[in-house]
Amino acid sequence: MLNKRLLLGLMILLCLLYAVLSADIIYVDVNGTGDYTTIQEGINAASDGDTVLVADGIYTGNNNKNLTWDGNEKHLVVKSENGAENCIIDCNGEKGFNFNDSHQDTTDVISGFTITNGNTGIYCNRGIYGEEMSITIEYNIIKENCSGWAYGIIIMNCLAIVKNNTIINNITGIWHLDYYENISIITNNEISNNDYVGIFCDSGICDEENTYLDNAKLRDQILVISNNNIKYNGSYGIKLWHRSPLIKNNDISYNNCAIYAEGEWSSPTVQCNIISYNYGSVGSGISFSEISSSTSPLIGGEPGKGNIFHSNYGCNGADLYVICFIFYQFTATYNTFDFFPVSSHYVSPV
């Protein structure tokens, strides 16, 4: 039995070693010293498991925007050679990366680019009826995408790992729309100075007849928003529409409203966040609108998991404001408040 296990382990190790050794690096240099001068040419030439390594420079025009590949054929790492500050994709009003039902998985990685001047920096859309799809987005600077749709990142119905990025000065930082139950993690990002909202979590639901309503009723902690700095966004740090993510360990400060939850099935878990210096016309800390009695938002709720509310100001409620039907399971305990929240259905902290 031991020999069989040892043999199996050696076979797995050899397969992994073969995969590593057989992977190539395709070198792209706009100045002409690499294998190719445009990023899409490098992607087209790459095989499954390869890395497309992009040299310093400004990449713009044809074959340097709307970048994509077919995940049924290959999975790639596309990364800069020396970091985002040195490798810039100018989208010319279009998309930087454009994945539309193209079958990526989390081994497909976009890393280390500045992506700017587009309508969307990175677009990932599985579609309503497409096959499962996912992507890893890391160590990028996604900024000043202000044309047309004007999003830093769009994630639609697919799994995404978005980590260690700087997402600034777009109209919307991240738009995450999900009809299904795709695991997504948004973590360790700087999401700041976006004109409208830092992160918009959308269910796509229009009314109670929508066929996707049942999924929105779930507490979808399969979406985790953690350890981000979400600051100086024009209207909202985080906006929820029929969504119930786990929001934890973020610094959500200097927005108009830190977290705005709207729609009958918005029931987030909000724990261990710093929510400070948000200044708005309604509840500037956390504001709920049109929430039903069947939801159960959890704000703090457990010892050691409370939020710190500090120096928020709103005409109708500084730290926590609720416009809703009668709550039966609304919990906001173990938090630290500067001001007593203004709400007709508020549960006092202990």
Q: What does the pLDDT average to over 54-82?
A: 97
Model pLDDT, residue 11? 56
Query: Range with the lowest mean pLDDT among 123-132, 182-191, 231-240?
Result: 123-132
The type of residue at 165 is: N
Cα distance between residue 306 and residue 332, in whole Å: 8
Q: pLDDT tens digits, residue range 2-15?
A: 465 555 555 555 54
Average pLDDT of the residues in 200-214: 57
Residue 243 — φ and ψ, nearest 5°?
Answer: -130, 150
- Span 153-178, average pLDDT: 94
**pLDDT over 90 for what percent of the chain?**
59
Q: Are 174 and 167 in contact (CB under 8 A)?
A: yes
What is the DSSP-derived secondary structure letter of residue 345?
T
Q: State the DSSP code for 265.
A: T
Q: How many other CB atoms are there within 10 angstroms of residue 198's CB atom?
A: 35
Q: Does residue 215 carry a pLDDT above 50?
A: no
Distance separating alpha carbons of residues 106 and 90, to the nearest angstrom: 25
Q: Is residue 326 over pLDDT 90? A: no
Question: What pLDDT shows up at residue 168?
Answer: 98
Pair 193, 232: CB distance under 8 Å = yes
Whole-number pLDDT of residue 147: 81
Whether 209 contacts 230, CB under 8 Å: no
Task: Supply the mean pLDDT for the chain.
Answer: 84
Q: pLDDT value at position 212? A: 41
Residue 32: how many other CB atoms lie within 10 Å: 7
Average confidence (pLDDT) over 140-154: 91
Given a cut of 80, is residue 30 above it in pLDDT? Answer: yes
**pLDDT-above-70 percentage for the chain:** 78
Task: Look at residue 127 and tell me whether its pLDDT is greater than 80.
Answer: no
How much is the pLDDT for 344? 39
Q: Please check the confidence at residue 19 and state whether its pLDDT lies above 70.
A: no
The pLDDT value recorded for residue 129 is 58
Question: Tens digits of per-residue pLDDT, 73-126?
Answer: 999 999 999 999 999 999 999 999 999 988 999 899 999 999 999 999 999 998
pLDDT of residue 317: 64
Distance CA 64, CA 177 (A): 26
User: Which pLDDT value is given to residue 267?
Assistant: 85
- Residue 322: pLDDT above 80? no
Q: Distance between CA 323 and CA 328 in Å, rounded?
A: 14
pLDDT tens digits, one per residue of 233-287: 999 999 998 888 999 999 999 999 999 998 777 889 999 999 999 987 666 899 8
Residue range 199-223: mean pLDDT, rounded: 56
DSSP symbol at 263: S
At residue 324, the pLDDT reads: 59
**Residue 348: pLDDT over 60:** no
